[in-house]
Amino acid sequence: MRILIFSASTGGGHKRAAAALKEKINAVSPDSVVSVVDGLRSIGRVYDKTVCKGYYIMATKTPKVYGKFYKVTDKKNAAYKAVMRSNAMMSEKLLEKIDEFQPDVIIMCHAFISAMVSRLKRKGQISAKVISLITDYDSHRTYISPNIDAFVVAEPQMAAKLHEEYGVDESKIYPLGIPTFDSFIQEGKKDEICAREGLDPDKTTVLLMAGSFGVTGVLRFYEQLAKSKSDLQLIVITGRNEKLYEKFKRHIEELGTEKNTKLLFFVDNVQDYMHVSDLIVTKPGGLTVTESLACALPMAIYSAYPGQELDNVKFLISQNAAILIDKELGANQILGLLNSPGTLLDMKENCKRLARPNAAEDIYKLALKLSGKMM
């Protein structure tokens, strides 16, 4: 079977979901041919930069404006229709990639691409079965287009919303989960990881994903945790933020907290640090949430943009899998949680309950079913 997966660079989640799905399909069906294409980029550099940079600027610089725009376009109104119409108009530019690959199934990991593929399907320009994969823990109307054969959602409550609010046929909705790499699902051996990474397996460990936070705020937050009387082990990952990494390095030296802190730049084995941690402090992107759930790792959400991130937080809190912490009082909130082992254990069990470890393989099986190639 030939499967074309369209991703996008509006945040890392769409690309990671696509890559995890490709990896799983290649593993379970070596004869299948799978291609991952950045759909927005294939349309054109100007369009790609406009969408991706526009999203980044609005979400980070004017989050309230972004939140209002997100909320407005979740309703059937002029703004929503304008967004959908402008996206659909770009659909012809995807045809070259589709015609070149000749897929049996197309999986779209971004709402805008779903609208484009829907239009191509309506016009009879493609015959492949098409799946819209929603990579957050709440839905949005821009993901919903006619002529889509299946909608894959993260959890069952979303299925009800798609049917009741957006009018999607229940037979087209599949709460299979968001795909993630097997390395997050397969629990690492804590002692082995700690020995390799120079960590103490007996200490309570907090993983701080610092790269997405404001520099001043996250340094102050780290200091409050590091200087607390609790015997914590802290893992700090700054991502590709070189300035933040250097500031952390100096700050740790000034505080004299080197012994209980492991400072890291960009890493490609974040799953190892998740497997040995008791709590993660992070932003609530869809894939970060999915990976944390897969590792049964409770979350302390440091901040959330209005829109899909805030929707993710609301879902996690409703399921007692995360807490939303205050920028000023967050360290005290975390210490309070760590001093309540029963509460933390309940959150861990809820993460296990919410995880969908077979999501990638189940989505592949759905593709087989839709294409008529189910064995």
**Same domain, residue pair 291 and 345:** yes
| Residue bearing tokens 């940079």 | 53
Both 199 and 288 in a single domain? Answer: yes
129: which strand partners? Answer: 105
Q: Do 297 and 164 belong together in one domain?
A: no
If one counts the domains in the chain, the total is: 2
Q: Say which CATH number the domain at 149 has.
A: 3.40.50.2000
39 and 75 inside one domain? yes
Q: How far apart are the first and last CA of the chain?
A: 12
Asked if 121 and 87 sit in the same domain, the reply is yes
Q: Based on the domain organization, do 267 and 157 belong to the same domain?
A: no
C-alpha torsion 110→116→122→126, nearest 10: -90
Same domain, 199 and 140: no
CA-nearest of 239, 344, 254 to 296 is: 344
Q: Do 226 and 288 belong together in one domain?
A: yes
Helix, strand, coil shares of the chain, percent, nearest 5, are 55, 15, 30
Do residues 201 and 191 lie in contact, with contact meaning Cβ atoms separated by under 8 Å?
yes
Residue 271 has, within 13 A of its CA and on its CB side, a CA count of 18
Q: Are residues 187 and 269 in the same domain?
A: yes
Please give the C-alpha separations between residue 37 and each of 5, 25, 69, 94, in angstroms, as whole numbers: 6, 16, 27, 10
Same domain assignment for residues 223 and 245: yes
| Containing structural domain, residue 46 | 2-178+357-371
What is the reported pTM? 0.93
Per-residue pLDDT of the chain (375 residues; tens, 9 = 90+): 999 999 988 777 889 999 999 999 999 999 999 999 998 888 887 777 777 777 777 777 888 888 888 899 988 899 888 888 887 788 888 998 999 999 999 999 998 899 999 999 999 999 999 999 999 999 999 999 999 999 999 999 999 999 999 999 999 999 999 999 999 998 778 999 999 999 999 999 999 998 666 556 788 888 889 888 778 999 999 988 888 999 999 999 999 999 999 999 999 999 999 999 999 999 899 999 999 999 999 999 988 888 899 999 999 999 999 999 987 888 899 999 999 999 999 999 999 999 999 999 999 999 999 998 765
